[in-house]
Amino acid sequence: MKTGFCVFLAAFVALGASWFGFVYGPLKQLGVATETKVLQSDDKWPVQRTGDATLGLQVYRANGCAACHTEQIRQTGAANELSLMNLGVHQATDLKDFIASLLGTVPELMNFSNAVAGNLAGWKGELPKLIYSGADDTVVLLLGDKLKAVGVKTEARVVATGADIARMGWGVRQSVAVDYLYDSPVQLGNLRAGPDLANIGVRSPDLNWQLQHLYAPKSITPNSTMPAFRYLFTVKKIGAIPSPDALKLPLTQQPNEFTPPPGYEIVPTAEAKQLAAYLVSLKNNAPLYEAPFTPITAAK
C-alpha cells in the first residue's frame, strides 16, 4: 500500500461490493414488490390502511415505540397436523383399534405408530382430537385417506411452529417481507422490552382497550413495565355535552388512581386515536405462499 489510490481502490471495491449486495440487490428484488395473493382466496395482502391508521404509523415513529416493541414474528419450522373431526358411525374404542391395526400393518405408517398411539392414549371420544403433529406429511395424507374411506371425517392442517407463535395471540405465521409493503418508515424494532405488536390488531381489536392501555397500562396489566402515555390525552371538565370520544374506563366500584377527578373526562388527542387505529390495523393472520398455514375456518 504505497499510495493513497491503492487504499481508495481497496475500500472502494470492498464497500462497493457490499453496496451491490445489500443495497442494490434488495432494491431490485424487494423494492419492486407488489401486493400478493392470500392463499386459497381472492383477497390481496397486505391490506391498505385507513387514513387514521396511516397517520398512526407516524405517531408510532415520532414517539419511538419501536425502541421497545418489535413488529416481527419468528418461526422455526412448520408441522402437519391431523385431527379427527367426526367419527361417523364408529365408536371411539373401535376406531382406536382400527387405527392401531393400520399403524401395525401399513409399512409407511409403522414409523409413526408410537407418536399416534401416544396422542390417542386415554382418548374417550372428545372431538376434535389431534392425532398427529409433526414435520412428516405421510401420516396426514395416508392415514387421512384410510380414515376417510371408512367414513371418518378428518382435518389436515399446516401450522407454523416456534416460540413466538406458541405465545397465544402473537401471530400464526412468520412475518415476511411483503407484510411491510405499506409501512414507511418500516418499524421492525430490535428489542422486546414490550411484547411483539405484529398481530396486536387481532389480539386486542378494541379501540377503547388500546386507548385505555396507552393512557394507563397498569389499569389493564398491573405488572406492566410500559410507561403511561398521558401526554397523548387531555383531562378536561365535562361540558354541557360530554365528549363522545372520552375514554370509557371500566366501571369500578370505587374510583382508583386511574379514574379522573369527578366532573372530568379523559379525551384522547388526535394522535392517540391515530395510534390506536394503527395498532388495531397490525395483523399477521393471512396465509401466504411464502408463509403458509391452514386457517382454522377452512376445514376439509
Interface residues for another protein in 57-116 (CB under 8 A)?
Answer: 61-68, 70, 72, 74, 76
Q: Which residue has the cell 493513497?
A: 4
Nearer of residues 47 and 191 to another protein, judged by Cβ: 191
User: Beta strand pairing status for 264-268 and 153-161?
Assistant: unpaired
DSSP states along 187-232: ---S--SS---TTHHHH---HHHHHHHHH-GGGTSTT--PPP-GGG
Nearer of residues 23 and 130 to another protein, judged by Cβ: 23
174 binds another protein (CB under 8 A): yes
Nearer of residues 21 and 118 to another protein, judged by Cβ: 21
Nearer of residues 125 and 185 to another protein, judged by Cβ: 185
Query: Of these, 37, 44, 148, 192, which contacts another protein (CB under 8 A)?
Result: 192
Per CB under 8 A, contacts with another protein among 16-55 are 17-19, 21-23, 26-27, 29-33
Query: Of these, 78, 100, 158, 181, which contacts another protein (CB under 8 A)?
Result: 181
Find the distance separating the first CA and the last CA of the chain, reported in whole Å.
Answer: 69
Instruction: Give the integer Cα–Cα distance in Å for 205 and 5.
Output: 60
Nearer of residues 3 and 105 to another protein, judged by Cβ: 3
Q: Which ranges of the chain does DSSP label H, i.e. alpha helix? A: 4-19, 25-29, 51-62, 92-105, 113-120, 138, 144-149, 163-166, 200-203, 207-215, 270-281
Q: Could you tell me the smallest distance in angstroms from the CB atom of residue 48 to another protein?
A: 13
Number of residues this chain uses to bind another protein (CB under 8 A): 73
Cβ-count burial of 187 within 10 angstroms (0-12 exposed, 13-18 middle, 19+ buried)? buried
Per CB under 8 A, contacts with another protein among 201-260 are 217-218, 221, 223-231
Q: Could you tell me the smallest distance in angstroms from the CB atom of residue 45 to another protein?
A: 12
